[in-house]
Structure 1
Amino acid sequence: MSGTGERPAVLVYRHPGAPAAVVREVCAGVEEEGVPAEVVDAPDGLTATGLAHAAAQASRLEVGIGVDAAGATAVHHGKLPLDHPPATLGADAPAPDRRRIGRTGARVVKNLPLG
């Protein structure tokens, strides 16, 4: 994996084959809320939820986002069990939803309502 998670940021763990447009929209959503995002290349074999959970465990902010090879996306918090992500999004979601899930991750950091 590249990236260290040393600066406070929402870590975005992406599968090596994740669509660049999805990652770009997710990061834009995080940053729209005033929270930094750091993209990390993650190992193959994890679901979006697994990637998000791993990212949350590594993030100093305890929030991570995972993007799998197909473009499915999940937001997770480091204190939640693996099978309870706060938000998930299917691979076929439109760009505005991708940006929204990034904002959701940032809102988890800021303890704001997700709606």
Structure 2
Amino acid sequence: MSDHDDSASTDGDVPRIIVRYLDSDDSAIEQLERGIEEEGVPWTVQRVEADESGSDHQRTDPTAVAHRAASDSGLKIGIGVSEDGELTLHHARLPEDDPLFTVANATAREARTVGTNAARLAKHMPLKPLD
């Protein structure tokens, strides 16, 4: 169900959660994907390129990356992953500076829960607490 796309293209015909990362640890992304997959929601993973349009802040701040991903997502849900492993879950209808969750130095369990919550948001289900 995952679509690993290293470009910044749109999500095609199937609405998907968009996960965008900035040269981060692959294990955090793996755990995010597991959480999303367990809930049965489609997603795509995209690397944020240095030449992507926008200011440096928009390319490097996980909250800005997550909001932009949410705006580009057919489901209006995006996750930004920073170089140091900070995870941000965002919805396109929220103000850019007010994400649903931000988790610094996320453990594997927390990363998986963020993925689960992104999928549950898409399914209009209650979110799981972050421990």
TM-score in same-fold range (> 0.5): yes
CA shift, 1:93, in A, is 2.1
Among 114, 117, 125, the alignment partner of 1:101 is 114
Task: Indicate yes or no: 2:26 matched with 1:20.
Answer: yes
In structure 2, stretches of 5+ residues that fail to align are 1-5, 51-58
Gaps in structure 1 of 5+ consecutive residues: none
Matched, 1:49 2:63: yes
RMSD, aligned CA: 1.3
Percent sequence identity over aligned pairs: 35
Please, which of 35, 43, 46 is the counterpart of residue 37 of structure 1?
A: 43
Q: TM-score, normalised by structure 2?
A: 0.80
Q: Which residue of 2 aligns with 1:85?
A: 99
Q: 1:111 & 1:74 partners in 2: Cα distance?
A: 19
Q: How many Å separate the matches in 2 of 1:88 and 1:27? A: 17
Q: TM-score, normalised by structure 1?
A: 0.91
For the residues of structure 2 that align with 1:93 and 1:62, how far apart are their CA atoms? 23
C-alpha separation in 1, matches of 2:107 and 2:96: 25
For residues 71-109 of structure 1, give each alpha carbon's deviation from its aligned partner in whole angstroms, at most 9, with x where no partner exists.
Answer: 10011001110011111111x221011100000111111
How many residues of Structure 1 are paired with residues of Structure 2 in the alignment? 113
